[in-house]
């Protein structure tokens, strides 16, 4: 019999967001596969958990580590996958491991828990359903195409972006005729300086240009493209 692969979300800022179930799983599993073992060890210390074994599993060793972890799972060991913050696999490593576990008929148990895009979406004031989560826009190659694609969905769009590329992103969206789209920037979610900035893309661009720096982590929520049905309904 094989072990179980648990996918365990961890807080994105506020330690109080760890779930009882996550605590129990992290305390019990044989191996914790961590994006960065130092970051996870610090977290486990704060949570008073003594891990049996932590091993690194990050984007640069993902394939090789996935094979090793599959071997361990097939030897009936239980494994928890965590990332530095939030839910693994969502703009974080883990997809390779999960697909391989499924191929080997290993039981995959995902725990619900912290992630950045859900709180950003539900507090944005934009329609929460339907929505599309697109992760990080690419930095250079294909960025424009990606943004055009992102703007084409008739659904609220949620993306991640680094704070130092945020002004660039807003300027690019304006250049792509999305300046009037409603948007929300959710910054430092669950942390002391949590902030929601709401307005049109152009208004938010202007507002943020007036700040000397943009600190912390951000999620961008953007109004979707007008749906075909809406367009047709609007035709006089």
Name residues contacting ligand SAM, limited to 1-20 (CB under 6 A). 12-13
Considering only 160, 178, 201, 221, the residue that binds ligand SAM (CB under 6 A) is: 160
Identity of the residue, 3 or 83, whose beta carbon is nearer to ligand SAM in the bound complex = 83
Considering only 4, 40, 78, 87, the residue that binds ligand SAM (CB under 6 A) is: 87
Part of the chain binding ligand SAM (CB under 6 A), chosen from 40-48, 55-63, 70-78, 109-117: 109-117
Select the residue whose beta carbon is closest to ligand SAM and give its number. 86
CB 32 within 8 A of CB 50: no
Binding-site size for ligand SAM (CB under 6 A) equals: 23
Shortest reach from residue 226's CB to ligand SAM, in Å:
26
Shortest reach from residue 135's CB to ligand SAM, in Å:
8
Identity of the residue, 77 or 123, whose beta carbon is nearer to ligand SAM in the bound complex = 123
Report the relative pairing of strands 156-161 and 218-222 from DSSP bridges. Answer: antiparallel
Q: How far apart, in whole angstroms, are the C-alpha atoms of residue 113 and residue 12?
A: 10
115 binds ligand SAM (CB under 6 A): yes
Part of the chain binding ligand SAM (CB under 6 A), chosen from 18-26, 53-61, 62-70, 184-192: 184-192
Identity of the residue, 3 or 184, whose beta carbon is nearer to ligand SAM in the bound complex = 184
Q: Going edge to edge, which strands form the sheet with 54-56? A: 54-56, 31-34, 79-82, 4-7, 107-110
Shortest reach from residue 216's CB to ligand SAM, in Å:
7
26 binds ligand SAM (CB under 6 A): no
Shortest reach from residue 12's CB to ligand SAM, in Å:
4
Shortest reach from residue 83's CB to ligand SAM, in Å:
5
219 binds ligand SAM (CB under 6 A): yes
Residue 96 to residues 105, 125, 156, 196, Cα–Cα distance (Å): 14, 35, 28, 34
In the complex, which residues of this chain contact ligand SAM (CB under 6 A)?
12-13, 83, 85-87, 90-92, 115-117, 160, 162, 186-191, 217-219
């Amino acid at each position: 019999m094989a072990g179980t692969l648990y996918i365990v979300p961890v807080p994105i800022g506020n330690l109080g967001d760890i779930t009882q179930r996550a605590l129990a799983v992290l305390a019990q599993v044989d191996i914790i596969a961590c994006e960065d073992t130092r970051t996870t060890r610090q977290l486990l210390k704060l949570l008073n958990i003594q891990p049996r074994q932590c091993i690194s599993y990050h984007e640069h060793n993902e394939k090789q580590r996935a094979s090793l972890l599959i071997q361990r799972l097939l030897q009936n060991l239980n494994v928890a996958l965590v990332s530095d913050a939030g839910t693994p696999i969502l703009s974080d490593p883990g997809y390779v491991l999960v697909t391989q576990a499924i191929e080997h008929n290993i039981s995959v148990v995902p725990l619900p828990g912290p992630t950045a895009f859900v709180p950003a979406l539900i507090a944005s004031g934009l329609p929460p359903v339907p929505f599309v989560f697109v992760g990080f826009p690419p930095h250079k190659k294909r960025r424009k195409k990606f943004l055009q694609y992102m703007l084409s969905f008739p659904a609220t769009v949620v993306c991640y972006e680094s704070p130092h590329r945020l002004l660039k992103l807003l300027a690019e969206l304006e250049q792509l005729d999305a300046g009037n789209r409603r948007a929300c920037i959710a910054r430092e979610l669950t942390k002391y300086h949590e902030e929601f900035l709401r307005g049109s893309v152009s208004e938010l661009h202007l507002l943020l240009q007036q700040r000397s720096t943009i600190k912390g982590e951000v999620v961008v929520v953007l109004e979707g493209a007008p749906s075909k049905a809406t367009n047709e309904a609007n035709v006089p």
